């Protein structure tokens, strides 16, 4: 008995040590998106977008037939369980992409370990036991396997009572409940509760907390009420974030940056520092990263292989003059590592960092001056670095970089910066290694860094802090459409065959490797046509945001917030039903709180007259969301402060009645500030209009 208990304990421990749980977004066990198979499945009862092709369907049929189950009811039950791997939600059912779980999580009414068999009687797991407990199954998938292979170690027939001491033990191991962020299998394809929807908020209330024009905001990794801000010329500041309702603004001294990298960065129109990321363990190791552009003509250290090369059928010497360079691949995209070590007793206390580059993580020569992305961020789940690149900007040139797996342009890359390359993979584009589960890590015909492809110019991506599988990127359109995509492993988002859900009218949409049938594009979850917004300068360009997870405005909770750079429109996208991956967007009215710490006059129930151009979004450690604009930093606050109605809001005492001010001891002069804002605004306008 003691040996059986130890065996059972180790088996349960193996299940507990499986990778992090993925929330209920439609994903396959390899974390790729469900797809439409070229041939319909004949064995498994699934249709539409599924996680099995005809070859997998045949494999499951042969596995089922080899089990030689004599009882019809048990055979039908086992078949449905085997076919669950084809379910669009199989990643959730098989514990977040682990192939080691032999069967999906079976719905158990109790949803907790240690439940009595009497309590579990009504559950599907209990029904499986009752139906199959005395039926012989060859190569039973219900056999405990310490090897994690998903099948038993021998081919003998066995019953459930041979393998498990009781129904309770069986359901403790294979059972689970359907909760807010989890699903379980009950013998049929997953169907979500369509009554679980997110109503659109009535309006969004903002307060202005800073004057600076920043492209990036990153919460301090130590969890404190501090955040880093960076601008396009190349400075990073560390600021103290005021509490909600305090009536205070950001404590940020423009004259004293955390680090100044401007002498390493080429800043002009669409160039500059485009992204920054702090290592998840920054508070202990002091590592942080900047993504920027350099000019090899003026900076000898700016050197790397050109993205236009023989591997992708591109000749650098023939790059068009419209590329904006005096020499082929004159400008580069760089991701470099820096350190805050040695500037304080420990990195968490550091208020300055060394501007000396520790190592060059990634470098690539750019074929033009536009559409080169540049954001970097770490996943809160797998801790790997994700790098976003644009398609190279050579409109109509036929190079098709975004669809070429030998090119790193128009991609989301995923790399490991904690393990430096070995001699076997020293031909990479910098100092990093390739995660083994990258979709093309073993494909000699593709760049192993690629996580997803078919993007034009991703401008601001984020992970949902509560559901890491929701990795969302806004992709800037060309002529007609701006889109929001959920990025999945190996996903192809269509460009340039498609611009959002629309066929893109160019010669590239008919090239050999870019047909609709070949790329099987994943269409955006939401987006908008250029004709649907009031454009400035005749243009439109999306700025991606965040899933709102703060309790400050409970009516916005769970909605994805994003905006347009030029038009100033802000949208919230609600998932309907929740966890389905299906979204509907609503243009949301917004206004500025009358008691805002800094002046931000508004047009009631419309866009902020003083908001200017929306560059980006940010999120602090309290999960409050910020809008980074050409006129300053704005934070979403309680809707009642703008007289918006939210039935879920718990009213608190009014914030201090601090008179609005345009500067304080932590800010630079108004004259300097506005000159800087004008320069950056013009730069970004030119960048996005090209």
Confidence of residue 612 (pLDDT cuts 50, 70, 90): confident
Same domain, 485 and 414: yes
d(CA 673, CA 663) in angstroms, rounded, equals 10
Same domain, 45 and 150: yes
Instruction: Note the pLDDT of residue 686.
Output: 39
Sheet holding 625-629, edge to edge: 590-592, 204-210, 632-637, 625-629, 614-619
> Does residue 107 lie within any of the structural domains?
yes
Instruction: Note the pLDDT of residue 318.
Output: 87
483-527 pLDDT per residue, tens: 999 999 999 999 999 999 999 854 444 444 545 567 889 999 999
Instruction: Note the pLDDT of residue 155.
Output: 59
d(CA 672, CA 285) in angstroms, rounded, equals 35
Average pLDDT over residues 287-310: 94
d(CA 312, CA 285) in angstroms, rounded, equals 38
Indicate if the alpha-carbon torsion angle 100, 493, 363, 357 is positive or negative.
negative
Look at the block and give the residue holding tokens 């039950």. 77
617-638 pLDDT per residue, tens: 999 999 999 999 999 999 999 9
d(CA 241, CA 666) in angstroms, rounded, equals 13
Give the residue with greater pLDDT, 569 vs 260: 260
Same domain, 223 and 166: no
Instruction: Note the pLDDT of residue 608.
Output: 59
Instruction: Note the pLDDT of residue 494.
Output: 94
- CA-nearest of 43, 19, 166, 9 to 101 is 19
* DSSP conformation class of 431: S
Neighbour tally for 256: CB within 10 Å: 12
Same domain, 615 and 669: yes
Instruction: Note the pLDDT of residue 257.
Output: 98
Strand, coil or helix: 686: helix
The domain total for the chain is: 2
Confidence of residue 116 (pLDDT cuts 50, 70, 90): very low
Instruction: Note the pLDDT of residue 536.
Output: 56
* DSSP conformation class of 479: S
Confidence of residue 607 (pLDDT cuts 50, 70, 90): low
Share of the chain above pLDDT 90, in %: 66
Average pLDDT over residues 404-427: 86
Neighbour tally for 185: CB within 10 Å: 27
d(CA 216, CA 231) in angstroms, rounded, equals 7
Last residue of one domain, picked from the residues 128, 160, 176: 176
> Does residue 184 lie within any of the structural domains?
no
Average pLDDT over residues 580-606: 84
Same domain, 286 and 217: yes
Torsion angle of alpha carbons 248, 250, 255, 258, nearest 10°? 150
Strand, coil or helix: 186: coil
Q: In 511-646, where do the E strands start and end?
A: 526-529, 542-547, 560-564, 570-575, 583-587, 590-592, 614-619, 625-629, 632-637
Instruction: Note the pLDDT of residue 652.
Output: 66
Q: Do you know the residue count of the chain?
A: 690
Instruction: Note the pLDDT of residue 673.
Output: 40
Strand, coil or helix: 358: strand
Confidence of residue 609 (pLDDT cuts 50, 70, 90): low
- CA-nearest of 302, 409, 308 to 363 is 302
Confidence of residue 591 (pLDDT cuts 50, 70, 90): very high
pLDDT at 399 over 60: yes
Instruction: Note the pLDDT of residue 515.
Output: 55
**Domain span at 658:** 204-689
Instruction: Note the pLDDT of residue 152.
Output: 45
553-581 pLDDT per residue, tens: 999 999 999 999 988 889 999 998 888 89
Same domain, 171 and 211: no
Q: What is the CATH number of the domain that holds 550?
A: 2.120.10.30
Bridge partners, 208 (sequence order): 598, 634
C-beta separation of 209 from 216 below 8 A: no
215-230 pLDDT per residue, tens: 999 999 999 999 999 9
Confidence of residue 546 (pLDDT cuts 50, 70, 90): very high
Top-confidence range, 50-64, 577-591, 675-689? 50-64
> Does residue 199 lie within any of the structural domains?
no
pLDDT at 178 over 90: no
d(CA 425, CA 436) in angstroms, rounded, equals 12
Bridge partners, 120 (sequence order): none
Instruction: Note the pLDDT of residue 533.
Output: 83
Confidence of residue 539 (pLDDT cuts 50, 70, 90): confident
d(CA 125, CA 121) in angstroms, rounded, equals 9
Same domain, 232 and 163: no
Same domain, 120 and 250: no
Residue 653: CB partners within 8 Å, gap ≥ 6? Answer: 245
Distance spanning both ends of the chain, measured CA to CA: 72
C-beta separation of 375 from 458 below 8 A: yes
> Does residue 198 lie within any of the structural domains?
no
C-beta separation of 380 from 468 below 8 A: yes
C-beta separation of 665 from 659 below 8 A: no
Confidence of residue 537 (pLDDT cuts 50, 70, 90): low
pLDDT at 153 over 50: no
Whole-model pTM: value is 0.87
C-beta separation of 247 from 655 below 8 A: yes
Instruction: Note the pLDDT of residue 320.
Output: 78
Same domain, 374 and 500: yes
436-474 pLDDT per residue, tens: 999 999 999 999 999 999 999 999 999 999 999 999 999
Same domain, 146 and 211: no
Element (H, E) at 492: none
Same domain, 239 and 90: no
355-374 pLDDT per residue, tens: 999 999 999 999 988 899 99
> Does residue 181 lie within any of the structural domains?
no
Among left, alpha and beta (phi > 0; psi -120 to 50; other), residue 410 is: left
> Does residue 182 lie within any of the structural domains?
no
Same domain, 289 and 381: yes
665-690 pLDDT per residue, tens: 333 333 334 334 444 444 444 344 44
Confidence of residue 122 (pLDDT cuts 50, 70, 90): low
- CA-nearest of 303, 349, 355, 359 to 328 is 303
Peptide bond into 496 cis (omega under 30): yes
Instruction: Work out the burial of residue 289: count CB atoms within 10 Å of its CB; fewer than 13 is exposed, 13-18 middle, 19 or more buried.
Output: buried
> Does residue 186 lie within any of the structural domains?
no
> Does residue 52 lie within any of the structural domains?
yes
Confidence of residue 651 (pLDDT cuts 50, 70, 90): confident
Average pLDDT over residues 311-322: 84
- CA-nearest of 329, 337, 345, 343 to 292 is 337
Report the helix count and the strand count for the chain, using DSSP H and E: 10, 31
């Amino acid at each position: 008995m003691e040996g059986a208990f130890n065996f059972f304990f180790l088996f349960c421990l193996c299940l507990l040590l499986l990778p992090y749980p993925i929330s209920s977004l439609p994903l396959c066990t390899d974390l790729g998106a469900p797809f439409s198979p070229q041939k319909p499945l004949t064995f498994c009862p699934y249709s539409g977008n599924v996680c099995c092709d005809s070859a997998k369907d045949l494999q499951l049929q042969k596995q089922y037939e080899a089990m030689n189950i004599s009882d019809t009811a048990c055979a039908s039950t086992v078949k449905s369980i085997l076919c669950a791997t084809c379910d669009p939600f199989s990643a959730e059912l098989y514990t977040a992409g682990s192939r080691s779980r032999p069967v999906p999580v079976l719905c158990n009414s109790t949803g907790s370990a240690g439940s009595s068999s009497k309590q579990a009687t009504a559950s599907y797991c209990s029904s499986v036991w009752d139906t199959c407990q005395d039926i012989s199954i060859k190569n039973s998938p219900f056999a405990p396997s310490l090897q994690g292979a998903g099948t038993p170690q021998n081919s003998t027939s066995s019953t459930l009572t041979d393998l498990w001491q009781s129904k309770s033990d069986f359901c403790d191991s294979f059972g689970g409940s359907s909760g807010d962020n989890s699903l379980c299998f009950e013998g049929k394809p997953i169907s979500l509760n369509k009554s679980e929807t997110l109503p659109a908020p009535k309006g969004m209330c903002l307060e202005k907390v800073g004057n600076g024009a920043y492209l990036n905001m990153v919460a301090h990794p130590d969890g404190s009420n501090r955040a880093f801000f960076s601008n396009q010329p190349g400075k990073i500041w560390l600021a103290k974030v005021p509490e909600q309702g305090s009536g205070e603004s950001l404590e940020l001294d423009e004259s004293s940056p955390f680090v100044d990298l401007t002498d390493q960065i080429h800043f002009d129109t669409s160039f500059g520092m485009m992204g920054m990321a702090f290592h998840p363990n920054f508070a202990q190791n002091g590592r942080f990263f900047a993504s920027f552009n350099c000019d090899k003509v003026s900076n000898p250290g700016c050197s790397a292989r050109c993205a236009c090369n023989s591997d992708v059928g591109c000749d650098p010497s023939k790059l068009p003059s419209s590329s904006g360079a005096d020499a082929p691949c004159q400008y580069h995209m760089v991701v470099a590592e820096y350190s805050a070590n040695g500037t304080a007793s420990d990195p968490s206390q550091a208020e300055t960092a060394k501007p000396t580059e520790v190592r060059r993580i990634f470098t690539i020569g750019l074929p033009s001056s536009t559409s080169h992305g540049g954001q970097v961020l770490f996943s809160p789940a797998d801790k790997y670095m994700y790098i976003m690149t644009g398609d190279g900007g050579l409109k109509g040139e036929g190079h098709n970089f975004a669809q070429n797996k030998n090119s790193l342009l128009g991609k989301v890359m995923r790399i490991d910066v904690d393990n430096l390359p070995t001699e076997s993979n020293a031909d990479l584009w910098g100092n990093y290694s390739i995660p083994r589960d990258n979709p093309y890590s073993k494909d000699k015909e593709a760049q192993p860094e690629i996580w997803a492809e078919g993007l034009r110019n991703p401008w601001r991506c984020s992970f949902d802090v509560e559901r890491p599988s929701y990795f969302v990127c806004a992709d800037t359109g060309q002529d007609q459409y701006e889109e929001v995509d959920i990025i999945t492993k190996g996903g192809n988002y269509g460009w340039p065959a498609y611009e959002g859900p629309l066929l893109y009218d160019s010669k590239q949409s008919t090239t050999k490797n870019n047909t609709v049938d070949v790329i099987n594009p994943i269409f955006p979850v939401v987006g908008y046509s250029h004709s649907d917004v009031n454009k400035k300068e005749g243009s439109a360009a999306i700025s991606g945001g965040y899933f709102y997870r703060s309790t400050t405005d409970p009516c916005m909770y769970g909605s994805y917030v994003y905006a347009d750079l030029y038009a100033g429109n802000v949208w919230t996208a609600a998932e309907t039903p929740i966890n389905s991956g299906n979204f509907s967007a609503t243009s949301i009215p917004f206004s500025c709180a009358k008691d805002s710490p800094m002046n931000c006059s508004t047009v009631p129930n419309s866009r902020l007259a003083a908001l200017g151009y929306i560059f980006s979004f940010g999120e602090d450690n309290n999960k409050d969301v910020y809008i980074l604009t050409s006129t300053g930093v704005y934070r979403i606050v309680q809707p009642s402060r703008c007289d918006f109605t939210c039935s879920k809001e718990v009213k608190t005492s009014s914030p201090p009645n601090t008179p609005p001010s345009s500067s304080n001891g932590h800010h630079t002069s108004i004259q300097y500030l506005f000159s800087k804002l004008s320069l950056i605004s013009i730069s970004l306008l030119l960048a996005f209009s090209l």
